[in-house]
Amino acid sequence: MLTLDRLDKVYRTGTFGTSDLHAVRQVTLDVQRGEVVSLIGESGSGKSTIGKMVLHLLDSSGGTITFDGRDVTHLGFRARREYYRKVQGVFQDPFSSFNPIFKVDRTFETLRRSYFPRVSSSDWRGRLEEALAAVSLEPGDILGKFPHQLSGGQLQRLLIARALLLDIELLVADEIISMLDASTRIDVLNLLVELKSRGLGILFVTHDLSLGNYVSDRVVILYKGRVVERGVTAAVFDDPLHPYTRDLLASVPHLDRTWEDVEAEEAERSAALAGRCLYHEALAAQGRALGEEASAADGDDVGLVEHSPGHFVGCFRLAAGDPCPAGA
């Protein structure tokens, strides 16, 4: 449904826009209908930048975005409006998504006027109440209030209700769990799982591996703007291949295992992979090594290879400038 192909983002930074920050490099991934794909990486790895490009809040610097078979990389005003009928985002900071001078009911009224001008007021009221109930919000508690009178969790659930009203096909959820308390957290996670079973595709942005593990069908591991590994959640979590993914997983406490067990397992894996780069080994096996290795040495992204069915890994270089252990 959604495909990103070699998506790039370069920010102009510095006082006079004189230096470039290459925040997203050649990112390729897809999200299918009824599927949750987690985009996981540490702070600054480019997750939100990717989400914002998908939502057309930022222009991309290269590559393409395809939605339902249509190239949506660049959209004019009208096409963008149509796109937002199908694709919406919920963010870490939900306050910024609301107009602070409008009460919540006015915000929803604007939505009705823009997208459903033919729906009667009473019909709309019914739909609105249904959507609010789905996110466990009482209309009476919410509608007459200004955004600053609501909690972060309530605003986030309102954004999800808005997505429900629009009956969207793809939701970009950017760190939406971080500001919720434990009990609301599980409600929102379960809501996402339910929406998924109704066919919604979700790009779930998080730096929290356990959340990624809990909700997603597939995961994409991002490091310094590059995809270093991606695949079916269980495959990536049970058999992490890239050194960065292994570090990430080794640093998460496991309730069911001792620290020593986790360390011993990681030590064994590291010994087995020491001095190797599965990406370049696979290329060599395919007889494609020379040209590809040259570009790896240049610090460009050279993509991923399929190590086992549905499980892809990139070069073991940790960042542009670091050597690849295979010597490329």
Contact residues: ligand ATP, CB under 6 A: 11, 13, 21, 23, 41, 43-49, 207
**Distance in angstroms (rounded) separating the CA atoms of residues 213 and 235:** 11
Interface segment toward Mg ion; rule CB under 5 A; list 21-29, 32-40, 46-54, 156-164 = 46-54
Per-residue CA distances from 173 to 38, 88, 90 (Å): 9, 9, 5
* Residue number, 46 or 153, with CB nearest to ligand ATP: 46
Q: What's the closest the beta carbon of residue 237 comes to ligand ATP, in angstroms? A: 20
Q: What's the closest the beta carbon of residue 214 comes to ligand ATP, in angstroms? A: 18
Q: At what angle are helices 121-134 and 152-166 packed, to 10 degrees?
A: 130
Q: How far is CA 56 from the centre of its chain?
A: 14
Do residues 63 and 3 lie in contact, with contact meaning Cβ atoms separated by under 8 Å?
no
**Which listed option, ligand ATP, Mg ion, none, makes contact with residue 38 (CB within 5 to 8 Å by class)?**
none
* Residue number, 25 or 280, with CB nearest to ligand ATP: 25
Do residues 10 and 171 lie in contact, with contact meaning Cβ atoms separated by under 8 Å?
no
* Residue number, 137 or 171, with CB nearest to ligand ATP: 171
**Which listed option, Mg ion, ligand ATP, none, makes contact with residue 13 (CB within 5 to 8 Å by class)?**
ligand ATP
For the chain, the straight-line distance linking the first and the last C-alpha, in angstroms and rounded, comes to: 35
**Which listed option, Mg ion, ligand ATP, none, makes contact with residue 286 (CB within 5 to 8 Å by class)?**
none
**Distance in angstroms (rounded) separating the CA atoms of residues 237 and 248:** 10
* Non-local CB neighbours of 310 within 8 Å, separated by 6+ positions: 218, 231, 232, 235
Element (H, E) at 65: strand 62-67
Interface segment toward Mg ion; rule CB under 5 A; list 44-52, 64-72, 79-87, 216-224 = 44-52
**Distance in angstroms (rounded) separating the CA atoms of residues 172 and 154:** 18
* Residue number, 37 or 164, with CB nearest to Mg ion: 37
Query: What would the x/- binding string for Mg ion be over residues 11 to 40, using CB under 5 A?
Result: ------------------------------
Interface segment toward Mg ion; rule CB under 5 A; list 47-55, 125-133, 162-170, 275-283 = 47-55
Q: What's the closest the beta carbon of residue 202 comes to ligand ATP, in angstroms? A: 17
Q: How many binding residues for Mg ion (CB under 5 A)?
A: 1
- Nearest CA-CA partner of 3 in 27, 21, 36: 27
- Nearest CA-CA partner of 150 in 114, 97, 187: 97
48 interacts with Mg ion by CB under 5 A: yes
* Residue number, 10 or 289, with CB nearest to Mg ion: 10
* Residue number, 22 or 112, with CB nearest to ligand ATP: 22
Structure tokens at 299: 């610090």
Q: What's the closest the beta carbon of residue 45 comes to Mg ion, in angstroms? A: 9
Q: What's the closest the beta carbon of residue 24 comes to ligand ATP, in angstroms? A: 7
Contact set with Mg ion (CB under 5 A): 48
